[in-house]
A and B are shown apart, each in its own frame.
Chain A
Amino acid sequence: MSRAVDILYPAEADGTELPELIAAAQTAGQALLDVPLADRLSAFDTLSDQLLEGRLRQVPGIAFLAAFLRSTNLRTLIERELTFPDALRQFVPIGERKSARVLPQGLVAHWVAGNVPLLGMFSWALSAVVGNANVIRLSSKQEDVVSPLIELLAQSSAVGRQLAAATLLVCFDREHSDAHVQLSQAADVRIAWGGQEAIETIRALPCRWECEDIALGPRVSYAVIDPTVATDASINRLATDAVYFDQLACSSPQYLFLRDRGEQAEIEGFVERFTAAFERQAVAIPRHPLDFSESYQIELDRTRALLEGGRLARDSQTEWTIALVDRPNDEIRCANRFVQIIPFQRFETVYGCIPRNIQTIITLLGADEAEQFSEQAARRGVCRLPRPGEGNLFETPWDGVPLVARLTRWTLRSDNRR
């Protein structure tokens, strides 16, 4: 077990101690205060273009990141939470004799989920665009698709270089408690991505009392679809939502609740169209090779679905599975492209299946039903209700957390009477 801290970015920093590198990133972050938001947004626009052109475009999920980095998207997300984004540059009046200035929190430390390193780049970009310095910790060097990306940013423009200079990318074992503690104690914001154990471990690290925590923990997502509203295009987009990231993202739909008005042909027709789309997407989007345990799990889950009276559509290997079942089986893992379709006649059936760790329910219903369902779903803890094709689009708030607000701090000023 390695006890070293590998410095993945900046490359020339190898050999320097972690605290010094963190301090250097913080200093570079201070310099970002003088860079206008528009310039930072523009740097990410350039990076977005380059991601789609270069060798990184092969990385699964890179298209989502490129879309996320578009300046129009980032500006929309900032404005969603900050109705006066100019406060990121200067004091702006916000009401009777009051002005506000919104500043970055300082140093944001990101602990990225194992095996899905790209997820952390979404929180990094949002943090960087509002002016924070960032340290990203990966658990394995093999997962490093991140340093080429930051390298690209550094080469793209002068502001890109400044943003990259305020970013430190490191890799160390989970047992390297000294490095974890150093990072945690330096952080103004700690962002933890991943499973329950990882989140709890990070939150248990010592930190300053004023440090802000953002836990983007393990969650499940569903879809609720009315087959009469579904078009071929929306079904295709829904299949993409389930196939992307090998269904290992918290936003990946696992259960697909299908509105059943008693017309068997309607259900069968949808299942057939969805199966065709799912198979197409599963072939088009490469998947990581399953290990033995994952392969066994898929065979077991298929068996469980059948033993309980379900029906399967599947490939001849372990690429993808759709199980049509009467009721969802929580024992079935629903990972690596395994979806349970559950017809329902009353929305109460769906409400009863919403767990406390729900995140997203992709929704495609008629307008009235969508309105009713949204309200009831929100009351039961659902954080997002996107349309098909938007399931994996990272946005803020995420997991119900307004990220821009948590990545910034306010200075409030009383103004003179005019």
Chain B
Amino acid sequence: MCFRLTTILTWSVKLIEPFTTDVGPFAMAPEEKQAFLSERLAALVEHHHARCAPYARLVDDWRGRTTSGSFSVESCPYVPVTAFKNYDLRSTDESGTTLQSSATTSAVASKIFADKATKKRQALSANKILTDFVGSEKRPYLVFDLEATVRGAGAMSARAAAILGLAHLATEFLFVMREEKGQLRIDRDALEHAIEVIGDGPFLSYGFTYILYQAHRELAELGITLPRAHPDSRFLHSGGWKRLVALAVDKPTFNRTISEPWQLEPASVVDFYGVIEQAGVPYPDCSAGYKHAPYWAEVVIRQNDSMQPTKTGETGLIQLINCLPLSAPNHSVLTEDLGQIVLDDGCACGRRGKAFIFKGRAPRSETRGCSDVPRR
């Protein structure tokens, strides 16, 4: 489904409402989703074009190259995520929160501005997605992190955003880590209290991938015996695997390390992919081991060199799209991550639309030749 660019200009922000009440997050048929998303994305592009002058220059350049005069999800212009490290891109003068990435790769953090309306949409989105994966029943929320991570009124870290993304499913937050000489360690008292609160019932848990792993290694080293968890309990984690790859820890080993002490099945450990530039849209693994985009978001995998969308089964750079952000033009971003579309539709888990896998960060290019950047 395509829309004439000229007609987009007349659409109002009201048309950008990303959710519809009559369908589940992953139940929309692909053709219907294309139409739904194209309409909203086109309006969103115009929204940011009108409010963010630097972004308008990107769009004008894109329009100059778009010969068909039509808009589709795959043609939606994107901003490479690294640009959010160097440029303060905002589409509003209203106050809000700046989400900040963990800056592990380049020591410079991405800064994504989110106003109240955007945050509300992001929270609702995360709520709908996670509910689809772990159910809507509220449970005690075991957090393998410091309480301080989610405190503070200023910039919010990616870790904090991820922790708070599950807040709607929590009856109570149970932080079980403490800081010792700059290192995160298990807080035994807090853990004991958490176990007491949880009792026999199911709980939900979250930790950044590396922190969750380190915490469970420490539990094993300390010889702490954990109670058998209710089988409906779930451990969710997100964040880079780089440090675990360096420790030669693969996904099955990771899942076992987390699930075994709680006497849970490895499938109780759910990895979700997400980037701070697309807050509000986590991509958890489904029971078939794939990731899915809800009807208000999409994933496009792009070839190297041509930057054209790949065919199913080909590896490429991940472009993430959603129609949530009103306060910064981060609705369509090109990541440095690699992924692959596995199915165009018909995943065994029952979710509609594309199923994809995340294949890690694109390897940095080898230094080639003897050219350099200017050094002053």
Residues of A within 8 A of B (CB): 113-116, 119, 193-198, 216-221, 245-250, 252, 254, 289-297, 299-300, 303-304, 306-309, 311-312, 314, 316-318, 328, 330-331, 333-335, 353, 355-358
| Contact status B370-A249, CB under 8 Å | yes
| Contact status A250-B304, CB under 8 Å | no
The residue among A196, A218, A292, A330 with the most chain B CB atoms within 10 A of its own CB is A292
| Contact status B370-A218, CB under 8 Å | yes
With a CB–CB cut-off of 8 A, which chain B residues contact A114?
366-369
| Contact status A291-B363, CB under 8 Å | yes
With a CB–CB cut-off of 8 A, which chain A residues contact B304?
289-292, 294-295
| Contact status A307-B366, CB under 8 Å | no
Q: What's the Cα separation between A312 and B83 when bound, in Å?
A: 17
Q: What's the Cα separation between A114 and B305 when bound, in Å?
A: 21
| Contact status A220-B370, CB under 8 Å | no
With a CB–CB cut-off of 8 A, which chain A residues contact B317?
292, 295-296
| Contact status B370-A303, CB under 8 Å | no
The 4 closest A-B pairs by CB, nearest first: A248-B369, A218-B372, A355-B374, A292-B362
Task: Name the residue of chain B whose CB is nearest to the CB of A252.
Answer: B371
Task: Name the residue of chain B whose CB is nearest to the CB of A199.
Answer: B370
Given contacts A113-B370, A330-B373, contact A290 B336 (CB under 8 A): no
* Stretch binding the partner chain, chosen from B2-10, B53-61, B133-141, B263-271: B53-61
What interface size band does chain B fall in?
35 or more
User: How does the 8 Å CB contact mask read for B314-340 relative to A, with 1 for contact and 0 for none?
Assistant: 001100000000000000001010100
Q: What's the Cα separation between A146 and B339 when bound, in Å?
A: 37
| Contact status A115-B368, CB under 8 Å | yes
- B365 lies within 8 A of chain A by Cβ: yes
| Contact status A220-B368, CB under 8 Å | no
With a CB–CB cut-off of 8 A, which chain A residues contact B367?
114, 194-195, 197-198
With a CB–CB cut-off of 8 A, which chain B residues contact A254?
371
| Contact status B371-A248, CB under 8 Å | yes
Q: What's the Cα separation between A293 and B334 when bound, in Å?
A: 12
Separation in Å of the B7 CB from the closest CB of chain A? Answer: 25
The residue among B304, B367, B370, B375 with the most chain A CB atoms within 10 A of its own CB is B370
- B65 lies within 8 A of chain A by Cβ: yes
Separation in Å of the A162 CB from the closest CB of chain B? Answer: 30
Q: List 30 A-B contacts (CB under 8 A).
A: A113-B368, A113-B369, A114-B368, A114-B369, A116-B370, A119-B369, A195-B370, A216-B370, A219-B371, A246-B369, A249-B371, A250-B369, A250-B372, A289-B305, A290-B304, A292-B316, A292-B363, A300-B80, A300-B83, A303-B83, A304-B86, A306-B57, A307-B55, A307-B87, A311-B61, A330-B374, A331-B86, A335-B368, A355-B374, A356-B375
Partner of A115 from the list B369, B372, B375 (CB cut-off 8 Å) is B369
User: How does the 8 Å CB contact mask read for B43-74 relative to A, with 1 for contact and 0 for none?
Assistant: 00000000000110110010001000000000
With a CB–CB cut-off of 8 A, which chain B residues contact A316?
65
Residues of B within 8 A of A (CB): 54-55, 57-58, 61, 65, 78-80, 82-83, 86-87, 89, 304-308, 316-317, 334, 336, 338, 362-376
| Contact status A218-B371, CB under 8 Å | yes
| Contact status B368-A248, CB under 8 Å | yes
| Contact status B83-A296, CB under 8 Å | no
Q: What's the Cα separation between A196 and B54 when bound, in Å?
A: 35
| Contact status A294-B365, CB under 8 Å | yes
| Contact status A296-B362, CB under 8 Å | yes
| Contact status A317-B368, CB under 8 Å | no
Task: Name the residue of chain B whose CB is nearest to the CB of A314.
Answer: B65
Separation in Å of the A202 CB from the closest CB of chain B? Answer: 13
Separation in Å of the B161 CB from the closest CB of chain A? Answer: 23
Separation in Å of the A173 CB from the closest CB of chain B? Answer: 13
| Contact status B87-A292, CB under 8 Å | no
| Contact status B371-A250, CB under 8 Å | yes
Separation in Å of the B75 CB from the closest CB of chain A? Answer: 12
Task: Name the residue of chain A whose CB is nearest to the CB of B376.
Answer: A355
Q: What's the Cα separation between A303 and B58 when bound, in Å?
A: 7
With a CB–CB cut-off of 8 A, which chain B residues contact A245?
369
Q: What's the Cα separation between A317 and B302 when bound, in Å?
A: 11
Task: Name the residue of chain B whose CB is nearest to the CB of A245.
Answer: B369
| Contact status A296-B80, CB under 8 Å | yes
Since A299-B334, A307-B89, A356-B375 are in contact, a sample of 6 more A-B pairs with Cβ atoms closer than 8 Å, ordered by chain A residue number, is: A218-B372, A219-B372, A292-B336, A292-B363, A303-B83, A353-B374
Q: What's the Cα separation between A197 and B364 when bound, in Å?
A: 15
With a CB–CB cut-off of 8 A, which chain B residues contact A331?
86
Separation in Å of the A319 CB from the closest CB of chain B? Answer: 8
Separation in Å of the B17 CB from the closest CB of chain A? Answer: 28
| Contact status B370-A219, CB under 8 Å | yes
With a CB–CB cut-off of 8 A, which chain B residues contact A216?
370
| Contact status B305-A318, CB under 8 Å | yes
| Contact status B334-A306, CB under 8 Å | no
Task: Name the residue of chain A whose CB is nearest to the CB of B335.
Answer: A296
| Contact status B370-A250, CB under 8 Å | yes
Separation in Å of the A52 CB from the closest CB of chain B? Answer: 23
Task: Name the residue of chain A whose CB is nearest to the CB of B54.
Answer: A307
Separation in Å of the B333 CB from the closest CB of chain A? Answer: 11
| Contact status A307-B58, CB under 8 Å | yes
With a CB–CB cut-off of 8 A, which chain B residues contact A309?
57
With a CB–CB cut-off of 8 A, which chain A residues contact B58?
303, 306-307
Q: What's the Cα separation between A303 and B62 when bound, in Å?
A: 11
Task: Name the residue of chain A whose CB is nearest to the CB of B57.
Answer: A306
Q: What's the Cα separation between A248 and B370 when bound, in Å?
A: 6
| Contact status B373-A220, CB under 8 Å | yes
Given contacts A292-B316, A299-B334, A307-B57, contact A220 B372 (CB under 8 A): yes
With a CB–CB cut-off of 8 A, which chain B residues contact A198?
367
Task: Name the residue of chain A whose CB is nearest to the CB of B338.
Answer: A292
Q: What's the Cα separation between A289 and B304 when bound, in Å?
A: 8
The residue among A219, A289, A299 with the most chain B CB atoms within 10 A of its own CB is A299
The residue among B54, B305, B338 with the most chain A CB atoms within 10 A of its own CB is B305
Q: What's the Cα separation between A353 and B362 when bound, in Å?
A: 32
Q: What's the Cα separation between A235 and B334 when bound, in Å?
A: 34
Q: What's the Cα separation between A132 and B89 when bound, in Å?
A: 58
Task: Name the residue of chain B whose CB is nearest to the CB of A116.
Answer: B369
| Contact status B83-A307, CB under 8 Å | yes
| Contact status B80-A299, CB under 8 Å | yes
Q: What's the Cα separation between A247 and B370 when bound, in Å?
A: 10
With a CB–CB cut-off of 8 A, which chain A residues contact B375?
355-357
Q: What's the Cα separation between A194 and B368 when bound, in Å?
A: 8
The residue among B78, B308, B365 with the most chain A CB atoms within 10 A of its own CB is B365
Partner of A295 from the list B305, B366, B368, B370 (CB cut-off 8 Å) is B305
Q: What's the Cα separation between A333 and B374 when bound, in Å?
A: 9
Q: What's the Cα separation between A330 and B368 when bound, in Å?
A: 18
Q: What's the Cα separation between A197 and B305 when bound, in Å?
A: 27
With a CB–CB cut-off of 8 A, which chain A residues contact B338?
292
With a CB–CB cut-off of 8 A, which chain A residues contact B370?
113, 116, 119, 193-195, 216-219, 248-250
